[in-house]
Structure 1
Amino acid sequence: MSENPDSAIEETAVRDELLSLEALLISRCYLFALFHKAFGGEPNSLFLESMASTITVDVVNEYAHADETMGKLEVFISGLSDKARDASFLDEAITEYALFFEGPADLPAYPWEAPYISHDATVFQKSTLTIREAYRSYGLQVKLFQHVPDDHVSTMCAFMGHLADRSLTAFRDRRFGDLGVLLGDQYRFVRDHLNNWIPEYAKLARNAKTACLYPQLIHGMQAFARLDEVFLAETLVWLGGSSAEAAVACNMSYEAPSAFAAVENILARLNEIRLVGIEENELVEVA
């Protein structure tokens, strides 16, 4: 412990900031993975049970104080714990997934960016290629390249989840320069390729004939993306400030709370769940 009281107070403040930042970096990893799975493949019982877990409720709670919609999502997910094991609810969720993402009837809302940018319902437009280049800049491409549109909401969440994972690693290694580059790219992606159309997507989802699961999740994702843009902007400012410099200079470390490991454990299980159709919205590494 430092002999200088002021220095000790400053170190404590910086350590608290680091803990808070790490908690949100982990939460981002979890939520982007959750939304990728939710919007990318037909739900099964394992996925519903993971989504309805207390861990999910705790992660959403990290944001509930800052946004009313996230607060409602927390309440909604808290109420899923009993339904998640109900076969009839699973059937409802599967039917609703088809309604929102498969058809054959017209979808309540297109789950791709391009139609909201060009007001043309066709896929593989100019904006789609911009998304493809963003993936390629990190050595990624859609698994079913040129067979499915690159700008599906699930695939975009998968990309953000990939960058969120890399950001968490950079943070833990105290590679704040790399972290700044990663967060800057994510900030621009969320601003330009999520928050530019997800609000309209969520508005249209509200008009669906059913509201078993997906309208609530889409609205939650909209709120999360908006908060994430703010978080990324504020963290970039923090990285350029004295607290980040102090953390590097002191080589500051701490014992992470057990809650961090609990979130990462269920995140690992979530990533292992295979959903029917998910391969259409997955990213793979390319040379």
Structure 2
Amino acid sequence: MTATTDPLHIQLQPYLVERKNFYQLLHLLFSVPGNIDSLFEIKRDETFKELREFHDGGKILDRFFKHLNVEQIKREQQEFQRLFIGPGPLAAPPWESYYRSSEKLLFEEWTYQIRKVYHQFGLQYCKENNEPDDHLLLELEFMIYLSDLCLQETKDDRIEKLLATQISFLEEHLGIWIPYFCEKVIENTSSQLYLGAAMLLKYFLSFDLESLVEVREGLQLCLKIIH
């Protein structure tokens, strides 16, 4: 924490906002190109402009978006279907259970672990019991939701608990299976969009976990001093 008279939750605001923006960007990258406007929205995103300096995946994405056109978007739509939707065998299934089950099955124990965590926060997947709750986009949405709660919270001890929840979620879920998912994408695509997105996702989650642990430890120290 910096030496300032601002309350701790105010000091944390810039960091929390930046984290949320990155998660939203990653969510968009793996949601598109179903909606053509979304790709152009990413191109205009201020967070995206920072990626050129952030990681090699960001540089690849920067080159992709510089040459973005309607024909390219159509090709990415086809690649999106092939990688994540089907029909047919998927090149990179986007569900946690697939990577953690020895038989590559869905609706395994991890699906229900994830569901339990969602329920603890009053959340429920609208397609619960019909589609797995441990889809990549749902897990990223949960991190965005927790980031929002942190930004709305003014009590430092509550923020500390929310940070702890995000650390646990990364350690017990996203941080375990996402590296394997990203390797699948990297090995099975020539798309600069999904190559860059997978590289960035893998790196950012590792970076985010380290920074969350550091920030939480700093917050805990400040709370001890205050009390």
Please confirm whether the aligned pair reaches a TM-score higher than 0.5, indicating the same fold. yes
Q: What letter corresponds to residue 134 of structure 1 in structure 2? A: V
Q: What letter corresponds to residue 191 of structure 1 in structure 2? A: E
Offset of 1:245 from its aligned partner? 6.9
Q: Does 1:56 align with 2:47?
A: yes
In structure 1, the residue matched to 2:111 is 128
In structure 2, the residue matched to 1:195 is 175
* Structure ranking higher in helix proportion: 2
Distance 2:87 2:213 in 1: 40
Structure with higher Rg: it is: 1
Q: Does 1:110 align with 2:93?
A: yes
Offset of 1:179 from its aligned partner? 0.3
Over 4 Å off, 4+ runs? 14-19
In structure 2, the CA distance between the partners of 1:131 and 1:17, relative to structure 1 (3 Å rule), is closer
Give CA-to-partner distance per residue, 1:28-84, whole Å, 9 cap, x none.
Answer: 2122222223324543222111212250234546xx5xxxxx421332333344333
Picking from 1, 4, 15, the partner of 1:11 is 4
Distance 1:74 1:37 in 2: 14
In structure 1, the residue matched to 2:66 is 82
In structure 2, the residue matched to 1:154 is 137
Distance 1:207 1:143 in 2: 32
Picking from 217, 230, 237, the partner of 2:210 is 230
Offset of 1:22 from its aligned partner? 2.4
Higher relative contact order (CA 8 A, sep 6+): 1
Please state whether the residue corresponding to 1:49 is helix, strand or coil: helix
Q: What letter corresponds to residue 37 of structure 1 in structure 2? A: L
Offset of 1:145 from its aligned partner? 1.6
Please state whether the residue corresponding to 1:213 is helix, strand or coil: helix
Picking from 189, 192, 199, the partner of 1:212 is 192
Q: Is the 8 A contact 2:25 2:48 kept in 1?
A: no
- Structure 1 stretches of 5 or more lacking a match? 1-8, 65-69, 250-287
In structure 2, the residue matched to 1:71 is 55
Alignment of 1:177-196 (within 5 A): 177-196=157-176
Alignment of 1:32-51 (within 5 A): 32-40=23-31, 42-51=33-42
Q: Which range moved further: 44-53 or 176-185?
A: 44-53
Q: What letter corresponds to residue 11 of structure 1 in structure 2? A: T
Distance 1:128 1:209 in 2: 27
Q: What letter corresponds to residue 122 of structure 2 in structure 1? A: G
Q: Is the 8 A contact 2:94 2:136 kept in 1?
A: yes
RMSD, matched Cα: 2.6
Distance 1:165 1:25 in 2: 8
Offset of 1:15 from its aligned partner? 8.7
Picking from 165, 172, 179, the partner of 2:148 is 165
Distance 2:188 2:141 in 1: 25
Q: What letter corresponds to residue 48 of structure 2 in structure 1? A: V
In structure 2, the CA distance between the partners of 1:132 and 1:41, relative to structure 1 (3 Å rule), is farther
Offset of 1:201 from its aligned partner? 1.2
- Structure 2 stretches of 5 or more lacking a match? none
Alignment of 1:265-276 (within 5 A): none
In structure 1, the residue matched to 2:76 is 93
Distance 1:154 1:92 in 2: 21
Distance 2:178 2:121 in 1: 23
Q: Is the 8 A contact 1:27 1:59 kept in 2?
A: no
Q: Does 1:29 align with 2:20?
A: yes
Distance 1:204 1:168 in 2: 34
Q: Percent identity?
A: 24
